[in-house]
Amino acid sequence: MLKRSEARNNAFILLFECSFLSSPDRDEILALAAENHEIVIDDFVLGIFHGVLDHQEELDAEISKYCKKRTLNRLSKMLLTALRIAFYEISRTDTASAVAINEAVNLIKTYDSPESASYGNGVLASYVREK
């Protein structure tokens, strides 16, 4: 069984791949990941993966409300993917807000830049303050 942070990382990779496709074939993406044996897919990974994709329009609408002076298309795909996961976890799961924020910021630091991590932290903090 994966640690939650590892599972989030794996879901992040799958969702990041989807961000390049106009209509991603979920089954194909999951099959390719399983075939390559580089990404372990458990129930937690699947929950985030399907949850974010199922609610992506709603998540993006919420994210855009908290992106000061930026539109979603100006965010890096890595930052947007991490924000989608965090917004999903905060609004639709029992994950503590602080955990979701910390995990998202760590993903952004790993895959993007310190500036993006700082911006993402501010977006998430604003969202949680209003919730």
pLDDT at 48: 98
Own/partner contacts of 62-69, CB < 8 Å, gap of 24 or more, are 62/87, 62/91, 62/127, 63/87, 63/123, 66/123, 66/124, 66/126, 66/127, 67/123, 68/122, 68/123
**How confident is the model at residue 84, as a pLDDT?**
98
When pLDDT is cut at 50, 70 and 90, the band that residue 16 belongs to is very high
pLDDT confidence of residue 70: 92
pTM: 0.96
What value does the mean pLDDT of the chain take?
Answer: 95
pLDDT band at 131 (very low <50, low <70, confident <90, very high): confident
